[in-house]
Amino acid sequence: MSFFFYFYFLFSPLASVSGDLERSPHSDPDPWEVQHRHKRSWVWNQFFVLEEYTGNEPLYVGKLHSDVDKGDGKVKYVLSGEGATSIFTIDENTGDIHATKRLDREAQAYYTLQAQAVDRLTNLPVEPKSEFVVKVQDINDNEPKFLDGPYLAGVPEMSPLGTMVVQVAATDADDPTYGNSARVVYSIIHGQPYFSVEPKTGVIRTALPNMDRETRDQYVLVIQAKDMVGQMGGLSGTTSVTVTLTDVNDNPPRFTHSKSPLLESLPVQSVVARIKAADADIGSNAEMDYRIMDGDGLGMFNITTDEDTQEGVIILLKPLDFETKSSFSLRVEATNRNIDSNFLSLGPFSDTTSVKVTVEDVNEPPIFSAPLSKMVVSEDAKVGTSIGKVSAHDPDTSSSAIRNTDLERYFNVDALSGVISTAKPLDREANSVHNLTIFAIESQDPLQTGKGIALITVLDINDNAPVFAIDYETILCENAMPGQVIQTISAVDKDEPLSGHRFYFALAAPVAGNLNFTLRDNKDNTASILTKRGGFRRQEQPVYRLPVLIVDSGSPALSSTNTLSVRVCDCNADGVALSCGAVAYTATGLSTGALLAILGCIITLLGKIHVISVSEVCVRRKEPLILEEERDIRENIVRYDDEGGGEEDTEAFDMVTLRNLNVIRDPNVRRDVTPDTPTFFHYTSATRPSYKSLPDNVVFREFIWERLKDADVDPSAPPYDSLQTYAFEGSGSVAESLSSLESLSTDSDQNYDYLTNWGPRFKKLADLYGNSDGTSVFS
């Protein structure tokens, strides 16, 4: 049904807003302000539009009219606001309002519009703009819905009639303030006669008393909600409610039958048997405790509850012996742990049963009278010395043999008597405790074996002499004063006397009266070495060797003589050693080994064996071992037995060997000694002939001595003569020799004068191989 409203303009002051039949939702709620508002010529009521209108023509909403409009067409009506032109239209001549689309109240319940009358020619308003509301009128087009469904609920079993289970709720999107479209009633479609639902509230209750979970534990209900107060033509919706009966302790435990487990020889704390009392309840209502009430097994067995299975676990407390007792009888009780007082009438909530435990005889292994036997023996005991005795017996028979498992065979065990004796000489310092595992084997059944342990402690005797605790490195400064302590020494002894070590120190008899050093025993297992004089000079004697006698306090006492090496060093004012050992001397004082090495090199060169490498010894610096930027990192001694890779082989290629033999370096004075190493041929820089003009043997001999002198005058070199090693190529290469030296030893016409054009790095090779007249210096 449609409602039509006709509105017209009144210019009379009596036709004010106070005459409105229904105030707009946007009106000011203050009643006093109404008396002071400006007069307007519009009088309003709400417009109503029925939702879901499905007619073919636009739906007429209402009509607007102004008293300024004389019907001559000079006034035009204009509509604006929510849905203007898209949903609502207005006839600009007549003021008729129509709805052009279907409206859904659940999507939008009302629309706020503005209407205005304007002059058609000038478009100027002839009346102020005013608001009005178009309210969508509800129809029953939405069914009730259970937004929280489906439901899960629980109620204790055995609950009384009418116990509340759960409350369901359905919502209807229709207007609850208009008609019965949103008024819902509930009913149960499936689930009778066990449950019921209250029509208005949706509360579900039990409809039968004492429902038993053990008979049926779950019910599925179907609940319907219908609008229009359940009248015919109303819309409805359904949901499911799953009701689970929760358990209560209404069933006592019951043993089905008694068990008689068989028991072999078991260790203590072994599980003998498992028994269980049946309980129809679940969870905490089925939890139970077991106890042994009486029987001849009290003290021999205990029973506990397995919390996972609720079984009674019978445990062995003491060893069983078939020969002593072959069976036991137990009476066991099972009691519910959590008893509900509401169901005591169904009890008692406990039950008892009898358990018979039968012990089965088994063939037991031999048993040692003492599982662990402790014995002692002196480390100087002779082979065959008896230490102790072990014994074992067989519970079933009387015969058993004993076998020793000492893999190192330090001890023997008599198989019949069990006497343990030494089989080898003992050394406490090598092994102070011997752990012997001894087996007793049953003669009739070798698989039956008993095991015992003999712990043999080796007693110490004084059979080790004391020695220096460490390898001492003693330094004696040349400026040391008489009576100065230069070293404190201590000793160690592999023996371990019960009263602890006591060492005595003294200088050995041959040096007891020496004029250089003396020894002072500090009486605390240490001794101090002191100087008797000053003025030590390493040029006179670089090292002193001092024999020290150390005696222990054993019985009998043992002693040893240990040599202490004292190195004489040049020290600074703070006593810090700068250099130690012998002072380097001139070439006339070269060692025999150095001269032999040089002579060997010369002889080898004269034999025309191919030279493969000439390397200088890398000298050590006192500064940190960091490579300088200008230092050629390839100047290292690298020894290998295969043939080199030519000029690109930089791993073992020594750039020093390519330096000009004729270059004279400025000698640098060494910090500790100025060496004066003459050469066999004294040439000045102006008069020394070129190496090309020297004989073959003189060329290499002069080259070697010049390199030796360069090393001696190098300020960063060690303060001692160093031996330069020069290696020569062998003759075993599969690819044959690539050496130019060998080619020169033949009748080759090779000319090496071009080496002079290769720059300063190859000038040394040019001096060695080049020849202006075309003849080789090696020919």
Write the DSSP assignment of 402-460 as a string of letters: EEE--TT--EEE-TTT-EEEE-S---TTT-SEEEEEEEEEESS-TT-EEEEEEEEEEEP
* Cβ burial, residue 350 (10 Å; 0-12/13-18/19+): middle
Q: What is the pLDDT of residue 602?
A: 67
The Cα–Cα gap between 274 and 269 comes to: 14
With H, G, I as helix, E, B as strand and everything else as coil, classify residue 229.
helix
The per-residue pLDDT for range 762-776, each reduced to its tens digit, is 877 777 776 544 433
pLDDT beyond 70 at 325? yes
Q: Torsions phi, psi of 521, nearest 5?
A: -75, 120
- Strands 559-571 and 262-263 turn out to be unpaired
Tell me which of 691 and 558 has the higher pLDDT.
Answer: 558
Mean pLDDT in residue range 493-503: 87
- DSSP letter string over 14-50? TSSGGG-SS--TTS---GGGGGGSPP-S-----EEEE
pLDDT beyond 90 at 203? yes
pTM of the complete model beyond 0.75: no
Residue 191 shares a structural domain with residue 153: yes
Q: What is the pLDDT of residue 562?
A: 94
Q: Which of 193-207, 226-240, 528-542 has the lowest mean pLDDT?
A: 226-240
Q: Torsions phi, psi of 593, nearest 5?
A: -60, -40
Residue 151 shares a structural domain with residue 92: no
Q: Which of 4-18, 318-332, 626-640, 677-691 has the lowest mean pLDDT?
A: 4-18
Residue 573 shares a structural domain with residue 476: yes
Contact of 377 with 456, CB cutoff 8 Å: yes
Q: What is the pLDDT of residue 2?
A: 31
pLDDT beyond 50 at 237? yes
Paired tokens of 363 = 């063939």
Q: What is the pLDDT of residue 672?
A: 44
Highest mean pLDDT among 322-336, 364-378, 611-625: 322-336
Residue 60 shares a structural domain with residue 107: yes
Paired tokens of 137 = 């009128």
Mean pLDDT in residue range 302-308: 92
Mean pLDDT in residue range 108-136: 85
pLDDT beyond 80 at 480? yes
Confidence of residue 670 (pLDDT cuts 50, 70, 90): very low
Residue 492: inside a domain:
yes
Residue 345 shares a structural domain with residue 427: no
Using omega within 30 degrees of 0 as the cis cutoff, is the peptide bond preceding 193 cis?
yes
- CATH code of the domain containing 434: 2.60.40.60
Q: Nearest to residue 420, comparing CAs of 399, 438, 408?
A: 438
Q: What is the pLDDT of residue 673?
A: 45
Domain span at 51: 46-137
Q: What is the pLDDT of residue 305?
A: 93
Tell me which of 344 and 581 has the higher pLDDT.
Answer: 344
- The residue type at 246: T
Q: What is the pLDDT of residue 108?
A: 84
The per-residue pLDDT for range 526-544, each reduced to its tens digit, is 999 999 999 899 888 999 9
Q: Which of 323-327, 504-508, 522-526 has the lowest mean pLDDT?
A: 323-327
Confidence of residue 256 (pLDDT cuts 50, 70, 90): confident
Q: Nearest to residue 26, comparing CAs of 114, 135, 132?
A: 132
Residue 567 shares a structural domain with residue 499: yes
Q: What is the pLDDT of residue 280?
A: 87
Q: What is the pLDDT of residue 738?
A: 54
Q: What is the pLDDT of residue 58?
A: 83
The Cα–Cα gap between 383 and 319 comes to: 42
Domain stops at, among 246, 270, 290:
246
Residue 131 shares a structural domain with residue 216: no
Mean pLDDT in residue range 207-233: 89
Q: What is the pLDDT of residue 373?
A: 85
Q: What is the pLDDT of residue 182?
A: 82
Paired tokens of 84 = 């203007």
Residue 294 shares a structural domain with residue 349: yes
Q: In the chain, count of helices (H) and strands (E)?
A: 4, 43
Contact of 35 with 121, CB cutoff 8 Å: no
What residues does 475 pair with on adjacent strands? Answer: 567
Residue 356 shares a structural domain with residue 374: no
Residue 718: inside a domain:
no
Q: How far is Cα of residue 774 from the mean position of the Cα atoms in its chain?
A: 77
Mean pLDDT, the chain, integer: 75
Residue 103 shares a structural domain with residue 193: no
Residue 474 shares a structural domain with residue 573: yes
- DSSP letter string over 134-189? EEEEP-S----B-TT-SEEEEEETTPPTT-EEEE---B--S-TTSTTTT--EEEEE
What residues does 727 pair with on adjacent strands? Answer: 613
The per-residue pLDDT for range 627-638, each reduced to its tens digit, is 344 444 444 454
- DSSP letter string over 696-719? HHHHHHHHHHHHHHHHHH-TTS-S
CA 322-325-329 angle, 5° bins: 120
Residue 474 shares a structural domain with residue 561: yes
Confidence of residue 170 (pLDDT cuts 50, 70, 90): very high
Q: What is the pLDDT of residue 623?
A: 40
3-state helix, strand, coil in the chain (%, to 5): 10, 30, 55
Q: What is the pLDDT of residue 662?
A: 44
Residue 388: inside a domain:
yes
Residue 714: inside a domain:
no
With H, G, I as helix, E, B as strand and everything else as coil, classify residue 113.
strand
Which region holds residue 703: left if phi is over 0, alpha if psi is between -120 and 50, else beta? alpha
Domain stops at, among 459, 489, 514:
459
The per-residue pLDDT for range 268-291, each reduced to its tens digit, is 888 888 999 998 888 888 899 999
Mean pLDDT in residue range 8-14: 30
Angle between helix 696-713 and 592-606 (nearest 10): 150
Residue 604: inside a domain:
no
pLDDT beyond 50 at 66? yes
The per-residue pLDDT for range 38-50, each reduced to its tens digit, is 444 444 557 777 7
Structure letter (DSSP) for residue 218? E
Domain stops at, among 316, 334, 360:
360
Q: What is the pLDDT of residue 600?
A: 66
Q: Which of 186-190, 592-596, 694-698, 727-731 has the lowest mean pLDDT?
A: 727-731
Distances (CA, A) of 89 to 59, 84, 619, 674: 10, 6, 110, 123
Tell me which of 253 and 727 has the higher pLDDT.
Answer: 253
pLDDT beyond 60 at 448? yes
Task: List Cβ<8 Å contacts ≥24 apart for 194-197.
Answer: 194/219, 195/165, 195/219, 195/221, 195/243, 197/168, 197/223
Residue 453: inside a domain:
yes
- DSSP letter string over 515-583? SSEEEEE-SSSEEEEEES-----TTT-SEEEEEEEEE---SS--EEEEEEEEEEEEE-TTS-EEEESPP
Domain count across the chain = 5
Residue 184: inside a domain:
yes
Q: What is the pLDDT of residue 218?
A: 93
Residue 570: inside a domain:
yes
- Strands 419-422 and 411-413 turn out to be antiparallel
